[in-house]
Chain A
Amino acid sequence: MLLEISKLTKTFGGLTAVNQFEMTVEEGNIVGLIGPNGAGKTTIFNLVTGVIRPDSGTIVFDDKNITGKSPHSIAAWGIGRTFQLTPLFADFTTLENVSASAYLHSRSNFWRTLFNTQAYCRNEAHALEKSNQILDLVGLSEVKNELAKNLPHGYQKMLGMARALAVQPKLLMLDEPLGGMNASEITFTMEIMKKMRQEGMTILVIEHNMQILDLCDHVVAINFGQKICDGCVADVTHHPEVIKAYLGE
C-alpha cells in the first residue's frame, strides 16, 4: 500500500470534521474520495499533506509515518497536491509557476546559485526543460509566458495540476480537478489522468463530478467525517448509504 490512513480524527471546536477515518491507496491506482459538501474530504487532504495536524490516528505513506509532519517534508517524501480554489503563484507566468514548483529537484545549493556556476546553469536548464515537458503534457505550452492570474479558470486548474506534477510525486492528490471546467476541458483532464496512471502514477482524487468515477479503480465514500463504504465504483454508487447521503431519505 502506498498510503494507509487509520483511525484519523480531527475536531474543530465542537465539530468533528473527520472521525475515525480509515482508507488505503494502492500503488498505481486512481482512487476517488467522494461525499457531499462538508463531508470532510478536503480536511482529509489537508491532514494527509500536513496543512493541519490530526488529533489522533496515523497516516503512513510509502512505509513512513507522516502523521503531523510539515507540508514541505511531506512534499519532499513524494506527495504532490492541488487545491480546490486553485491558489497559484498569481504574479508568476505559467512557466515560472511550474519552474518554481520544481524547487525540490533544482539540486543547487546557495553558493552554486549565487555564483551562477556551470552546475547551477545545467540544473536550471534541466528544470526548465522538465517544466516545459509538463506544460506540454497539460496543454499549456501556448500560454507559458502569460501571467497565471490572467489565465481562464480551466487553464488555472490545469496549471495547478502542472504545479503538482513538477514536484514529481509518487502520489498525486487532486482536489476537485474538474470543478468549473467545460466539457472539453473535463475530457482533456481525464485523458491526462489516464495517461499518468499508465505511466505508473498513483492518484487520489476528490470530485463532485461523477464522470470521474469512470477513471477510478477504487472509491471511498464519506459523510460527516466518517467512511460510509468503499470498494469498486459499482458497489459504492449503489450503496444505500451513499444514495441516502446524496439524495436524502
Chain B
Amino acid sequence: MLKNRFLADKRKITKAAIYAFLLIILLLLPKLGISIYYVHILIGVFLYIIMTSSLRLINLSGQVSLGHAGLMCVGAYTSAIISKNLDWTPWLTIPIGALVTFIIAFLVAIPFSRLRGLYFTMVSLFFGMAVLAINEVFEKITGGQSGMVGIQRLFGVSKIPYYYFCLALMIVCLFIMHRLEFSRIGLTWKAVAQSHSVASSTGINEARQRIICFAIGGFFAGLVGAVYAHYYVVLSVTTFGFFTSIYIFIYMMVGGINSFYGPIIGTTVLLLIQPLFHNVIREKYIPFIFAGVLLIVLYLLPKGLFGLPEQLRLWTRKLRREEKTALQEEVIHRAPRN
C-alpha cells in the first residue's frame, strides 16, 4: 500500500517536472533566438493542438467528426465579420465567435444525435462542406472564393505576443479538456461511446450527452478559428476545407486516439516535419508524407506515437526472449549426447 502510494507520488512528481521543463522551454524559445519563421510555425502548432484535442474530445462520446474545420470556419468568419463591419475589438469578437460556433454546433448536433457511427461521420462531413457553400452564398459579406482581407489584428505586427497568447490559450484549453475528460462528464461520454443501450439503461440521456460533447468541441474549434482570423488577418475558404478536417483527423490518429496526449504529440510531429526538413520535403509532398506516417503508425503502433515507448519496450523484450531461446537451443544442440 505504502509502496503503491510512493510510486504514485513519484509518478506525479515526474509528470510535474516534465510539464515544468516543457513550459520553461516553450517560454524561452523565442528568447533563444529561433527564427521568426519557427515562431510562426509554433503558433500554428499551438492552435492546431487545440483543434485536434477538441476533435478527440468529440470522439470521447463515440462521434468521429470529419467536419471539424467547418466549425473552425464558423468561428473565424463570425469574429472577422463582426470586428470588421462593426469595428469591435477582437478581444470581444473572439469569444463571440467561439460562442456562436458553440450554438451552431449545438443546433446541428440535435439532428446529428439521431445518427451513429459511419452515418454521423458522413453528415459531419457534409456539414463541413455546407459551411463552405454557405460562405460562398454570402459572398458580399464573406468575400466568397476571393477570401476576406483587412481583418483587425489582435496584437501588432510582431509575432512574439501571438506566440505567448496562443501558448497560454493552448494551456488553458488543454487544462479544461483534461478536466472534462477525467471527471464524471468524461466518464459519461466514454460510457455513451462504449454502449448507448447500457448507458441509457443507467439513466444517461445519451443523445443529450452527445449533443453537449459536440457543442463543447465546437466551442474550442470556433475559438481557434477566431484567433486564427485575427492572427493571419486574411481568410480563405480553402483553409477550412475537407483536407483540413482530414489532416486534423490524421494528427489525432498518428498521435494516438486513446490518449489525451496523443493529439498533442501527433499535431506537433506532423506539423513540424515539413518546416524542419524543408530542404528535403516540398510542401506538395505533404499529403503523401502524412499518409505514409499514418500507415506506418497504424501498422506498427496501435496506440499511436504516444504508445511508442511502450511498444519499444515490448519489441526489446520480445527480441531478448528470442535471443535467449536461440541461445538455449544452441546449448542443447551442443550438449554431449549419451
Which residues of A are in contact with B by a Cβ distance under 8 Å?
49-51, 70-72, 75-76, 80-81, 83, 87-92, 96, 99-104, 106, 108, 110, 113-114, 116, 120, 124, 127, 163-164, 166-167
Taking chain A's interface residues, is the majority helix, strand, or loop, or is none over half, making it mixed?
A: helix
Interface residue from A50, A103, A114, A164 paired with B204 (Cβ < 8 Å): A103
Interface residue from A108, A114, A164 paired with B179 (Cβ < 8 Å): A114
Contact A75 to B200, CB < 8 A, known contacts A89-B191, A96-B187, A106-B184? yes
Determine whether the beta carbon of B200 is less than 8 Å from that of A103. no
Interface size class of B (residues with CB under 8 A): 20 to 34
Cα–Cα, bound, A116→B178 (Å): 12
Least distance between A181 CB and chain B CB atoms (Å)? 20
Interface string of B15-45 (1 = CB under 8 A from A): 0000000000000000000000000000000
Supply 13 further A-B pairs (C-beta < 8 A) apart from A76-B203, A113-B185. Answer: A72-B200, A72-B203, A75-B203, A80-B202, A83-B201, A87-B198, A89-B195, A92-B194, A100-B188, A114-B176, A114-B185, A127-B184, A163-B198
Determine whether the beta carbon of B197 is less than 8 Å from that of A72. no
B190 adjacent to chain A (CB < 8 Å):
yes
Cα–Cα, bound, A64→B112 (Å): 31
Interface residue from A70, A90, A104 paired with B202 (Cβ < 8 Å): A104
Least distance between A85 CB and chain B CB atoms (Å)? 10
Determine whether the beta carbon of B202 is less than 8 Å from that of A166. yes
Q: Pick 9 A–B contacts, CB within 8 A, sort by A.
A: A51-B197, A71-B201, A75-B202, A88-B198, A89-B194, A100-B187, A100-B191, A103-B203, A127-B184
Determine whether the beta carbon of B184 is less than 8 Å from that of A72. no
Determine whether the beta carbon of A72 is less than 8 Å from that of B204. yes
Determine whether the beta carbon of A167 is less than 8 Å from that of B197. no
B205 adjacent to chain A (CB < 8 Å):
yes
| Chain B, residue nearest A106 (CB) | B184
Contact A163 to B202, CB < 8 A, known contacts A51-B197, A89-B191, A89-B194? yes
Determine whether the beta carbon of B185 is less than 8 Å from that of A99. no
| Chain B, residue nearest A89 (CB) | B194
Cα–Cα, bound, A100→B200 (Å): 11
Cα–Cα, bound, A116→B183 (Å): 8
Cα–Cα, bound, A176→B51 (Å): 46
Cα–Cα, bound, A100→B189 (Å): 10
B residues near A90, Cβ cutoff 8 Å: 194-195
Determine whether the beta carbon of B191 is less than 8 Å from that of A49. no
Least distance between A147 CB and chain B CB atoms (Å)? 11
Contact A87 to B195, CB < 8 A, known contacts A72-B204, A75-B200? yes
B residues near A110, Cβ cutoff 8 Å: 185, 212
